[in-house]
Amino acid sequence: MKPFRNILAVACVLFAMSNAQSVRSLVSSGNELYGKKQYSDAEAEYKKSLEKDKDLMEGSYNLGNAVYKQQRYDEAIQNYHQALTKAADPSVKSKLYYNMGNSYFDGKQYQESINAYKNSLKLNPSDEDAKYNLAYARRMMQQQQQQQQKQNKDKKQDDKKDQQQKQKDQQQQQQQQKKQDQQQQQQMANQQKKMSQEEAKRILEALKNDEKKTQKKVRQKAPVRMNVEKDW
């Protein structure tokens, strides 16, 4: 497919409709700067013309072109909308819709660009550029939808993998915690068993010591004198 026809319809010759000499001069100056690709300077001149005459269609039209060239597509669309409200000539409206279509297209808003090109062709069915760009925008929208579907599918798969990994990690953590708990319980049981054995040993030693002391006391005690009955 051939490249998108990124051509702006220009309203440079329409400024003559204005009655004020200063406004015409500003638009003319803006057009001259635009032709030299000094788009920010042209923008300033067009804005000055609109300050003097806010209803000047040519000012809004060409201001839209100037900001479009600076890749500020949303602002371009706003200015084209403003120019549409002031335009009466169907051919001018057709060009405005065409430029809006270009702005939407470059902003990757393909459905909106399709609608704009359709409106342009309603007013000028013989515009080959509009026909070409309409077909191109439809193709790009189809590709965008396919890409979006693929991204959604990939995201679902990634989410599923993440969930599975999360469950696996949780199971491993639970198993590890269970093992740690078992080890702690075993350690406590061993400690208790060791303490019981040591305590029993201490008790036995204490009993032996007591028994030795008792026996020693018995040996040290004086023998009991027995009374023997006298013979008659």
Tens digits of per-residue pLDDT, 14-53?
444 434 568 989 999 999 999 999 999 999 999 999 999 9
Share of the chain above pLDDT 70, in %: 82
* Residue 221 confidence (pLDDT): 57
CB under 8 A, 24+ apart: contacts of 78-87: 83/11, 83/57, 83/58, 86/55, 86/56, 86/57, 86/60, 87/57, 87/61
CB 19 within 8 A of CB 56: no
Cβ 105 vs Cβ 140: under 8 Å: yes
pLDDT tier, 9 (very low <50, low <70, confident <90, very high otherwise):
low
Sequence-distant contacts of 25-32: CB under 8 A, at least 24 apart: 26/52, 27/56, 27/58, 27/59, 27/62, 30/62, 30/66, 31/62
